[in-house]
């Protein structure tokens, strides 16, 4: 498995696809680049999901989140992009991604993006 930032997300078979249960993951050292200033933006990414047939492998998630350290994007774009990529990788029953970004210019930003499979 790679040890460099990567957009490749790995998955594994859900050991209990017959049951709804919640997986919560947190990356308290998330970094991206402000597209306006070029300065780093720091924050915490929280992921909460109910898996279906597949789960997200944690090391690949870490490397995926590291890949944003070199990307310029607004907080709203980053949070929604993470949600889109994770949903595409594991097709969960439900997922929420929260980007809780540190203060910049006296303002904190919290972005919540959600996905729910149609029933």
In this predicted structure, the answer to whether residue 3 has a pLDDT above a threshold of 90 is no
Cβ-based neighbours of 4, under 8 Å, separated by 6 or more: 63
In this predicted structure, the answer to whether residue 8 has a pLDDT above a threshold of 90 is yes
Average pLDDT of the chain? 95
* Active-site residue set: 34, 41
Average the pLDDT over each of 2-6, 33-37, 70-74, 115-119 and give the range with the smallest value: 2-6
CATH of 22-116, one of 1.10.150.20, 3.40.50.1370, 3.30.70.270, 3.30.1130.10: 3.30.1130.10
Helix, strand, coil percentages (3-state) for the chain, rounded to 5, are: 25, 40, 35
Q: What does the pLDDT read at residue 112? A: 99
Between CA 47 and CA 25 the distance in angstroms is 5
**Domain ranges, ordered by start, for the chain:** 22-116
pLDDT digits (tens, 9 = 90+) for 31-64: 999 999 999 999 999 999 999 999 999 999 999 9
Q: What does the pLDDT read at residue 99? A: 98
């Amino acid at each position: 498995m790679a040890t460099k930032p990567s957009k490749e997300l790995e998955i594994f078979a859900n050991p209990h696809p017959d049951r709804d249960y919640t997986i919560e993951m947190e990356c308290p050292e998330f970094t991206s680049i402000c597209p306006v200033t070029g300065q780093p933006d720091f924050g915490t990414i929280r992921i909460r999901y109910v898996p279906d047939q597949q789960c997200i492998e944690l090391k690949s998630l870490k490397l995926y989140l590291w890949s944003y350290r070199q990307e310029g994007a607004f907080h709203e774009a980053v949070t929604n992009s993470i949600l889109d990529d994770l949903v595409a990788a594991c097709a969960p029953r439900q997922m929420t991604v929260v980007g809780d970004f540190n203060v910049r210019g006296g303002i904190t930003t919290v972005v919540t993006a959600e996905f729910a499979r149609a029933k």
